[in-house]
């Protein structure tokens, strides 16, 4: 039996799998309406979690789940910037 451990879990809005919060990256919409990756996990605002890979990002955006989670559309330039940042994350 697996011991119950207090690891916070979040759902990726791309593949919809529950994962440890640490393995996911947060996309946040700030109170000012700016959407960006939150690599520190500490930015204020409405957040959504996603696996750090482009497949999940694409699924999340195509399925409109990221937009729904943030209650906002993702502007093309924001998506381009998020894509670049995810590409820069080394695969573990």
Binding site for Zn ion (CB under 5 A): 12, 14-15, 51, 56
Q: How far is the CB of 15 from Zn ion (least distance, A)?
A: 3
Q: Are strands 18-20 and 35-38 parallel, antiparallel or unpaired?
A: unpaired
Q: Which is nearer to Zn ion, 34 or 55 (CB)?
A: 55
Q: How far is the CB of 32 from Zn ion (least distance, A)?
A: 27
Separation between Cα atoms, residue 70 and residue 74, nearest integer Å: 9
Give the Cβ contact number of residue 23 at 10 Å.
Answer: 15
Q: Which is nearer to Zn ion, 35 or 86 (CB)?
A: 86
């Amino acid at each position: 039996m697996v011991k119950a451990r207090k690891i916070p879990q979040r759902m990726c809005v791309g593949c919809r799998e529950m994962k440890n919060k640490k393995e996911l990256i947060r996309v946040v919409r700030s109170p000012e309406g700016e959407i960006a990756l939150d690599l520190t996990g500490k930015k204020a605002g409405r957040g959504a979690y996603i696996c750090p890979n482009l497949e999940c990002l694409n699924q999340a955006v195509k399925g409109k789940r990221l937009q729904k989670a943030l209650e906002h559309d993702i502007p093309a330039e924001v998506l381009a910037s998020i894509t670049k940042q995810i590409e820069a994350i080394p695969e573990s």
